């Protein structure tokens, strides 16, 4: 999926120009191309194997903050499909590490279908349709 996202954006974010010179983009991929999101009834391999995606993303954020000397208060996450659900999980469970999220092609999870406790919230953009 990360390579597809790069293709869909025409590799535009890979080219430094103007304000983007101050931005860094990272394209992680989940276990077997999916994430252990908050769906309580998910059958994705990452969910059934209980992969520690929260630990992975927290480590990824910490590495990027340290290596690139970025402002940790300005970490934003974009997620597509199951990645959108993972972005929602990050927003709900580690709002102190995520300044905002955008999700595409994914709806918000209802409280009856969520296995994640809510510890906060961040600004959210939903692109659907």
Q: Are 34 and 45 in contact (CB under 8 A)?
A: yes
Establish how many alpha carbons lie within 13 A of residue 7's alpha carbon, considering only the half-sphere containing its beta carbon. Answer: 4
Residue 121 pLDDT grade (very low, low, confident, very high; cuts 50, 70, 90): confident
Q: How many CB atoms lie within 10 A of CB 14?
A: 11
Q: Which of 119, 50, 63, 62 is CA-nearest to residue 91? A: 119
Share of the chain above pLDDT 70, in %: 87
Model confidence, pTM = 0.84
Share of the chain above pLDDT 90, in %: 43
Q: Which of 127, 123, 116 is CA-nearest to residue 54? A: 116
Strand segments (E) across 1-129: 76-80, 100-104, 124-127
């Amino acid at each position: 999926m990360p390579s597809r996202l790069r293709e869909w954006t025409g590799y535009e974010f890979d080219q430094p120009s103007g304000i983007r010179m101050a931005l860094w983009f990272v394209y992680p991929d989940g276990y077997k191309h999916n994430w252990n999101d908050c769906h309580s009834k998910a059958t994705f391999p990452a969910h059934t194997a209980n992969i520690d995606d929260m630990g992975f993303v927290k480590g990824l954020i910490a590495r990027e903050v340290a290596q690139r000397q970025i402002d940790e208060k300005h970490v934003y996450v974009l997620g597509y499909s199951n990645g959108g659900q993972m972005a929602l999980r990050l927003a709900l469970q580690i709002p102190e590490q995520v300044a905002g999220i955008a999700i595409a092609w994914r709806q918000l999870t209802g409280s009856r279908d969520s296995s994640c406790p809510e510890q906060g919230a961040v600004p959210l953009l939903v692109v659907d349709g």
